[in-house]
C-alpha cells in the first residue's frame, strides 16, 4: 500500500475494475469513505453503481484493484471475508428476507449463530431494533404477510442486528410502492442522524440532498462527478450528469 491511509477512512477503493464477460462494469473506480460519512451513489441503470456497492462486501468479485474495509484487503485470502462482513450490513432492493423464518427469527438468526448470543440476548436486541424501525408488533409473523415497506424495514433491522459499522443500501426503495417509500427513508434518515457510516445507491434525489455528505455520479462504470449534494445538484458540470438530472427530476 503506497497510500497513507487516514485512520478515519473505513472504505477505500483503488483502481477497481470489474468485467462481466468482456464488458467492463467498473472502470478504474476510486472511492474513499470516512467513518460516519454518508455517501449516496446516483446514476442511470447499468452505470455500475450497484456493482460498485456490492463489490465493497465482495458480493461481486473485482478483477483488478484493491478494496480495503477497515484497513483490511477484502480480496486477501488471509482475511476472513465472513468476519469483515459482520461489520458491513447490507440492504437489498428485493429485501431478501428469509421467507421460512418469522420477522423475529430473521433478525435473531445471525446474532445467535454468528455472534453466539443467547436466544434471550438476541431477542432483546431484535425487539429493540424492530421498535426502532417501527414494526415490533409484527415480530411473530412471516415476511409474506408484510407489505414491501414493512419487509424492507425488517431487512434493515436484520442488518443492524449484527451491529455493523458500515451500512450498504442497494436501491432500498426501488421495489416499493410509492406510498411506502417514505417509511423506509425515514428509518434511513434516523440511522444517518445517529452517525452510521452509509453508502447508498438510490434514485431518491430528495433523500440524497438532505442526508448525503457527498454524492457520487456514476455512468458506464466510471465515477464522473463527486461532491456535496447542493453543489452537485445545482451546478452539475459533467454533461452526462446534466442530462441525467434533467431526465430524472
Phi, psi of 93 (to 5 degrees): -60, -40
Shorter beta-carbon distance to another protein: residue 57 or 202 = 57
Restricting to residues 15-34, name those near another protein by CB under 8 A: 20, 23, 25
Name which position in 2, 4, 78, 82 contacts another protein (CB under 8 A).
82
Rg (CA), the chain: 18
96 binds another protein (CB under 8 A): yes
H-helix segments, 10-102: 49-56, 81-86
93 binds another protein (CB under 8 A): yes
Shorter beta-carbon distance to another protein: residue 118 or 163 = 163
What is the rounded end-to-end Cα distance, in angstroms, of the chain? 41
Q: How far is the CB of 59 from another protein (least distance, A)?
A: 5
Dump the DSSP string for 155-213: HHHHHHTT--SEEEEESTTTTS-HHHHHHHHHHHHHHHHTT-EEEEE-S-HHHHHHH-S
Q: How far is the CB of 200 from another protein (least distance, A)?
A: 15
Q: Which three cell numbers stand for residue 48?
A: 455500475
Restricting to residues 114-173, name those near another protein by CB under 8 A: 114, 141-142, 144-145, 155, 158-159, 162
CA distance 215 to 200: 10
Closest CA to 207 of 238, 241, 237, 248: 248
Stretch that binds another protein, among 54-62, 131-139, 181-189, 204-212 (CB under 8 A): 54-62
89 binds another protein (CB under 8 A): yes
Name which position in 11, 90, 130, 166 contacts another protein (CB under 8 A).
90
Which DSSP helix (H) or strand (E) runs through 89?
Answer: strand 88-91
Contacting residues toward another protein, per CB under 8 A: 20, 23, 25, 45-46, 48, 50-51, 54, 57, 59-60, 82-83, 85-86, 88-90, 92-94, 96-101, 109-110, 113-114, 141-142, 144-145, 155, 158-159, 162, 175
Amino acid at each position: 500500500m503506497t497510500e497513507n491511509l487516514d485512520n478515519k477512512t473505513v472504505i477505500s477503493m483503488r483502481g477497481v475494475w470489474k468485467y462481466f464477460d468482456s464488458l467492463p462494469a467498473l472502470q478504474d473506480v476510486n472511492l474513499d469513505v470516512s467513518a460516519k460519512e454518508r455517501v449516496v451513489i446516483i446514476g442511470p441503470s447499468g452505470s455500475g453503481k450497484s456493482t460498485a456497492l456490492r463489490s465493497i462486501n465482495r458480493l461481486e468479485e473485482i478483477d483488478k484493484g484493491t478494496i480495503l474495509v477497515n484497513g483490511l484487503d477484502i480480496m486477501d485470502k488471509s482475511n476472513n471475508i465472513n468476519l469483515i462482513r459482520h461489520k458491513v450490513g447490507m440492504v437489498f432492493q428485493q429485501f431478501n428476507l428469509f421467507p421460512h423464518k418469522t420477522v423475529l427469527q430473521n433478525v435473531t438468526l445471525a446474532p445467535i449463530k454468528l455472534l453466539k448470543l443467547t436466544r434471550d440476548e438476541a431477542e432483546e436486541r431484535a425487539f429493540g431494533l424492530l421498535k426502532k424501525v417501527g414494526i415490533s408488533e409484527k415480530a411473530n409473523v412471516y415476511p409474506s404477510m408484510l407489505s414491501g415497506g414493512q419487509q424492507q424495514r425488517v431487512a434493515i433491522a436484520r442488518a443492524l442486528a449484527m451491529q455493523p459499522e458500515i451500512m450498504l443500501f442497494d436501491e432500498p426503495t426501488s421495489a416499493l410502492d410509492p406510498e411506502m417509500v417514505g417509511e423506509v427513508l425515514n428509518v434511513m434518515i434516523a440511522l444517518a442522524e445517529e452517525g452510521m457510516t452509509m453508502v447508498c445507491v438510490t434514485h431518491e434525489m430528495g433523500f440524497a440532498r438532505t442526508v448525503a455528505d457527498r454524492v457520487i455520479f456514476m455512468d458506464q462504470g466510471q465515477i464522473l462527478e463527486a461532491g456535496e449534494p447542493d453543489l452537485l445538484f445545482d451546478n452539475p458540470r459533467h454533461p452526462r450528469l446534466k442530462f441525467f438530472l434533467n431526465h430524472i427530476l
